[in-house]
Amino acid sequence: MTFSKILAAALISSLTLTAVTADELKGRGASFPGPIYKAWTSEYYAATKNQVNYTPTGSGDGIKSIKKRMVDFAGSDKPLKPKALKKGKLYMFPTVVGSVVLSYNIDGIKDGELKLSRAAIAGIFSGSITHWDDKAITAQNADLKLPNEPITVAVRADKSGTTFNFTYFLNQLDENIKVSKKPKWKAAKVIAGKSNSGVSANIQQIKNSIGYIEYSFKEKLGLAAAQIENKEGKYINPTLESFQDAAKYASWTADNDFYAVIADPKGETSYPIVAATFLLLPTEKMETNKQVTAFIDWAYTNGDKAATDLGYVPLPKETKDAIRAYWADKGVK
């Protein structure tokens, strides 16, 4: 092969690689849906050969990145109100519902054995309860041998939608605990980790710790999680069924870009800390947005099994259809 032919072949190869890279969708943000987005992007590529990359960096980073147009789409567990969406020139819609569990590492206490009342949870995260054998905890756990050891509270180091939804729940228990993506925790012993994986790792490594993480991280690492007292006074284990019961109380409407916070729903069998996760799109990038919605439309049609296998709750058909109509109205489908 002559030098000119080799050069031509190299140029063609380079152009092809550039074209593939240009067509690759890039997203970042919430770590809460990280496991399901990883499953969906893998299955979508296998089915269509269209590449979607999503980096779970936290909701705060996702919102920042999409506002600066650093990515094609962003994930956030903190829904943005219509005013904020208008200011950022963004569209928003939910993709799936997940749950926040209180995972713990206490010798001799197995998964699901620990019961935490609403008062105990508020006390642990506000700092008024500092040891595992506090009477507010032992009152519901007389059959367990809880140690006279200080509680290490594992929290997020980054701005987090998981934190937003968890503090939204805490605020229902104690109005002095403010809703925030990155609060100032008042617990005596606090360890911070980046993303759900960082908090999970801290819980796994530190004895007598407790922290809030998305359910699939608990399952993947085999961590223990508590039964939590819901609004009706029932102690509920984190299960797909209890998440589904809670998700039934979600209500979304396209009129406000599907803004909704589900945390602490009613219902005797409802798990009390559930949350939707959302996708954000820039209003001006119509053609790229159509590629993103094509991916999510595929996930809505083909991704329910992967979602339930990982402990997420797929959106109801009526909600998916309302979102498809929203896409069509915005010209991104």
pLDDT digits (tens, 9 = 90+) for 73-85: 999 999 999 999 9
Q: Which of 5-9, 102-106, 201-205, 206-210 has the lowest mean pLDDT?
A: 5-9
- Read off the CATH number of the domain in which 162 is found: 3.40.190.10
pLDDT, the chain, mean: 92
Q: Is 214 contained in some domain?
A: yes
Please measure the distance between the N-terminal and C-terminal CA atoms of the chain and give it in whole angstroms: 47
- As for how many domains the chain has, the answer is 1
What's the domain range around 209? 100-247
Alpha carbon distance 60, 247 (integer Å): 24
Alpha carbon distance 295, 281 (integer Å): 13
Q: Is 83 contained in some domain?
A: no
pLDDT digits (tens, 9 = 90+) for 153-211: 999 999 999 999 999 999 999 999 999 999 999 998 999 999 999 999 999 999 999 99
Q: Is 255 contained in some domain?
A: no
Tokens of 175: 């109005």
Supply the pLDDT for residue 18.
31
Instruction: Centre a 10 Å sphere on the Cβ of residue 82 and count the other Cβ atoms it contains.
Output: 12
Q: Is 73 contained in some domain?
A: no
Question: Which residues make Cβ contacts (< 8 Å) with residue 309, sequence separation at least 6?
Answer: none
Q: Is 182 contained in some domain?
A: yes
pLDDT digits (tens, 9 = 90+) for 241-281: 999 999 999 888 999 999 989 889 999 999 999 999 999 99
Q: Is 77 contained in some domain?
A: no
Secondary element (H or E) of residue 325: helix 317-330
Alpha carbon distance 285, 89 (integer Å): 10
Q: Is 195 contained in some domain?
A: yes
Tokens of 197: 């994986």
Mean pLDDT of 118-139: 98
Three-state secondary structure call for residue 310: coil
Q: Is 60 contained in some domain?
A: no
Mean pLDDT of 288-314: 97
